[in-house]
Chains A and B, each alone.
Chain A
Amino acid sequence: MTRTYPDEPAEEFPQPPRTITDREDRSIDVIPADDADTESLVEMYLDFDPADRAQGIPPVKEEAIREWLDTILDGDCVNVVAKHDDTVAGHATLVPDNEDEHELAIFVLQAYQGAGIGTALVETLLGQGQSKGIDHVWLTVERWNDPAISLYEKVGFEISSAESFEIEMAIRI
């Protein structure tokens, strides 16, 4: 698949670990994650509101959640989580495709949505991606999902294709 990317690379993004204060005055740590974090992520996804699923992920049943996490926590993927005390409130991931580009997705638990955590997660994930030499990142988002689309645009993603059910967006980092 040939994808159109913005001509100019984005600025430098912040690297994990970092601590932000969200709009609800909660202290949120954004830190790298890997397969050692599987159990806390399983817990987060079991709490995930099924209505917030997009395009079939995250899966609903625990076994399917574990199988899916197994793929995206693999060594060649990049993951960061947002932690509030011991609770994983959000998770963002970059997964390589066959063209040396990376697909991005973020998930934030309902109780933590609308507080700026998604933006912090995406920026920090892209910062972690930059430090690992990743330069092309894309995602798909449902066309009715305006909050997500504005978040991605604010970070620097541009729409690369809008011909299908989903809008595809891309960024050069």
Chain B
Amino acid sequence: MKILLGVGGSELSYQALTETLDRVAETGDELTVAVFDNEDNDADLEAVQQRIQERIDESGLEPPLRRVEGTSPGSELVNIAESEGFDRIVLGGGGRSPLGKIQLGPIVEFVLLNAQTPVTLIR
């Protein structure tokens, strides 16, 4: 299976990265990691990419790491998945409000609503 994992630099997105790397190590799925700029975090794209690369290196796997360009990462992720024949998009998300309500950010929401590809939300 061809998996497109989007990582935007939130803690939940790093958790999704770790879980997906663990899983891919078992299944042998063909993973691509796409780093995107999530305006909800302060970290810059360069730092996010570096942290992702460290996690990937620790895993011993060698999935390609690419950047999602443009101002609408959700739309671009959907576009990449469709145009390049990915079987699944994986994203981390669903953080909690102070009261404990699960909340989806705008990028996750866009992908869930618009992708023609199955989407896995890791939360």
Contacts and interface: CB of A to CB of B under 8 A. Distances in A.
Nearest to A104: B99
A97 B101 contact: no
Contacts, number: 41
B109 interface: yes
Nearest to A102: B98
Contacts of A68: 100
Q: How large is the interface on B (under 10, 10 to 19, 20 to 34, 35 or more residues)?
A: 10 to 19
Contacts of A72: 99-100
A19 interface: no
Contact of B102 (A56, A71, A97): A56
B106 interface: yes
A105 B96 CA distance: 14
B106 A164 contact: yes
B103 interface: yes
Given A97-B97, A164-B106, 8 more contacts: A56-B100, A57-B100, A59-B100, A97-B98, A105-B101, A140-B103, A163-B106, A166-B103
